[in-house]
Structure 1
Amino acid sequence: LNRLEFPANVYPFLNCQRLGVEVDFIAPREHLIQLEDIEAQLTPRTRVLSISQVQFLTGQRIDLAALGRLCRDRGVLLCVDAIQALGATGLDVRGLGIDFLATGGHKWLMGAQGQGFVYISPALLEQLRPAMVGWLSVEDPWSLLDYQLTLRTDAARFETGSFNALGLTALLASQQVFARWPMAQIEAHVLDLSGYLIQGLQELGLKVITPADPAARLGIVTCLHPEADRLQRGLAARLIMVSAREGIYLRFSPHFYNSRQELERTLAGLKTLLYPSQQERFAMW
């Protein structure tokens, strides 16, 4: 793991410490995760590397192709949290060598809260036995009184009960919207917006911690300011929705339905909050 991961990708592994699992953390450099630091942290005892495809705080997009090759060479399972990426980009799980992928559907996939999905590679599936099972985990769930614990051979063995039908219906509806355009076109538009936003924030004198390189970012753009909470509230009052995190991070997340004109209004509102009297700019950090 790394020390800027979202808690949902940390606590499940920390919970395994009671079973004797050791968890190692990789320290980012200047808020960014470096492949060489990951490689240096791997040992012959490392079994799993878990990482977000796009980091929730910085917006850094991880080079999963290089990471997948590294994990295969070292015999390490690659676990990916894709919640901040899917919907803004496509993902070839087999081509990238991903063993396990999990995502919620309520972020960039634009579904409702309370649903998501996982991918488990066929090779990994053969090694796993569910910690919990339910009536839908077995081969013949409708033989209701024949209690045969014969697990299904596919990933459905991890389904313990009834589906979130309403949430899945919403997710299906959102995917029908996405299907109107090629994913490559959506990604290109998202990258254009995030690049435009990075430039605009820097022109306002803000320190942007999201990589400028399009290959190393996607939709999230984050800058530093000691009054991030105040700026977030000020933008919200102008009906511009951004996130403030940890008191100093101001995070923007333009998606395919946004436009440059909307980002211009965002930057104009931010400028007013930063320099209400057009006083001389000062270095924030």
Structure 2
Amino acid sequence: MTLNRRQALGAAIALPVASQAAKAATPPPSLPDRRSFAATPIAYLDSASTHPISLGARAAMDAYVAGRTLDPAATARRPVDRAATIAKFARLVNADPDEVTWVQSTTMGEQAVLRALGFPHKSGRIVTDTLHFYAGFPMYRELGKQRVDVAWVQARDGRIMMEDMAKAITPGTRLVSLSLVSTYNGFHHDLKAVCDIAHAAGALVYADIIHAAGAVPVDLHGSGVDFAACATYKWLMGDFGLGFLYARRGVLDALPLADFGYYGFAAPGAPPGIGLSPPQTHVYPMDAPGNEPVSYAIRPGAIGHFGTGTYAQSVIAAIDHSLDYIGALTVPVINQHAQSLIAPLREGLSDRGYRIITPPGTTTPLLTALLPDAKTRLTDPLAKAQVRISLHDHHFRIAPSVFNDMNDVNRLLAALPRA
């Protein structure tokens, strides 16, 4: 049977609702799970760069777009509860919903934290490390040019040693900024240990968790971290243009507002949360009188400090589905599956003479190896074999996910020349 456009749209709209109704009775898929993703001839081992969107998340986005086009078939669609989506993410990382708000990207979240702390206009020391997100290096270099004392902890043997971090966190340090899991080689910080050292010195801690959330267990409350941010297009299986920012309860009380926007303000007496209750104006015809142009309250929690303008609504539909999918599988199961593929990959790369720079014992789903001129040397053979990994000038990174299996591993290893 062939569906017409109207029927296809109706099916896309109905799928998320039907999925919600059946979710309680449906066991989570077994891994590897190829059925939840579109069929492809590519052995895709690059989920640390961009994770494929699942068929269910695509259906949720299609339903949202149908509504935005005013298609009559979309009238049956139940809007995604944005507060519920925030709560799902909060549960995933062991946080409270009021400690989490939307941001456009991980970098936007990190910069919001820097602004809230008054950088670069206020003095103080920032400690970061060379396994932090490398595209953020220029940001800290520029802060250094504006008289911020930026200290760099150098990696040794693919790790940031705790004793090196402790030496760098001197009195006067205001912020320690790091990636919980390094995008470069998958190194995983002991976040609680870093927070204990930093807090003892009077410093706050920010963690980029884009390579952690959904990939490895994350316990924000247990670690004591003060701020964390991530986008959704990697291990959260969402898309570009939307992420989450976490700010620990109590930390914001001492910080002045540095971001001002529509979602951070509400009408006086409005209930907490992210529901729309806009400030009350006193300047338009039939407005209630007032001494100021507007009456408003600052929303409590992270949204009051960091809620600004609009964000990618279609991605909320996708990430809401993906958070349910991840929650049904559970992160430990996802991680265990990734490790079952990382182990033979590590052995196979070693047998072919590659120098692996992901530290032994690392349990993140990233594996990185050095190879001079890697992008130049590997682009053609991998394209011919229809294998996708992350290629850089002098290293390559492999990142398996829930849909990968040993066939993908063997295709990659067969396509790689000896180092």
With the length of structure 2 as denominator, give the TM-score of the two structures.
0.61
Shift of residue 103, structure 1, vs aligned partner:
0.3
Distance 1:236 1:54 in 2: 28
Shift of residue 164, structure 1, vs aligned partner:
1.5
Distance 1:194 1:142 in 2: 50
1:110 to 234, 237, 244: 237
Contact 1:9 1:81 in 2 (8 A): no
1:240 to 380, 387, 406: 387
After the TM superposition, which residues 42-57 of structure 1 pair with which residues of structure 2 at under 5 Å, given as runs?
42-57=169-184
Distance 1:108 1:184 in 2: 13
Shift of residue 61, structure 1, vs aligned partner:
1.1
Range 11-20 or range 198-207, more displaced? 11-20
- Corresponding position of 1:265: 411
Is 1:166 aligned to residue 293 of structure 2?
no
- Corresponding position of 1:201: 349
- Read off the aligned partner of 2:404 and give its amino acid letter: N
Shift of residue 15, structure 1, vs aligned partner:
4.8
- Corresponding position of 1:212: 360
After the TM superposition, which residues 98-177 of structure 1 pair with which residues of structure 2 at under 5 Å, given as runs?
98-140=225-267, 141-146=277-282, 147-148=294-295, 150-157=297-304, 158-177=306-325
Larger radius of gyration: 2
**Structure 2: gaps spanning 5 or more residues:** 1-127, 268-276, 283-293
Identity of aligned residues (%): 29
After the TM superposition, which residues 53-68 of structure 1 pair with which residues of structure 2 at under 5 Å, given as runs?
53-68=180-195
Contact 1:232 1:250 in 2 (8 A): no
Give the total of aligned pairs: 270
**How well do the aligned residues superpose, as a CA RMSD in angstroms?**
2.0
More helix by share: 2
Shift of residue 186, structure 1, vs aligned partner:
1.1
The DSSP-based 3-state class of the residue aligned with 2:151 is coil
The DSSP-based 3-state class of the residue aligned with 1:50 is strand
Distance 2:332 2:148 in 1: 40
With the length of structure 1 as denominator, give the TM-score of the two structures.
0.87
Higher relative contact order (CA 8 A, sep 6+): 2
1:6 to 123, 133, 142: 133
**Structure 1: gaps spanning 5 or more residues:** 276-283
Contact 2:187 2:358 in 1 (8 A): yes
Range 135-144 or range 47-56, more displaced? 135-144
- Read off the aligned partner of 2:214 and give its amino acid letter: G
What CA deviation, in whole Å up to 9, does each residue of 1:74-103 have, x standing for no partner?
222111001111111221101111100000
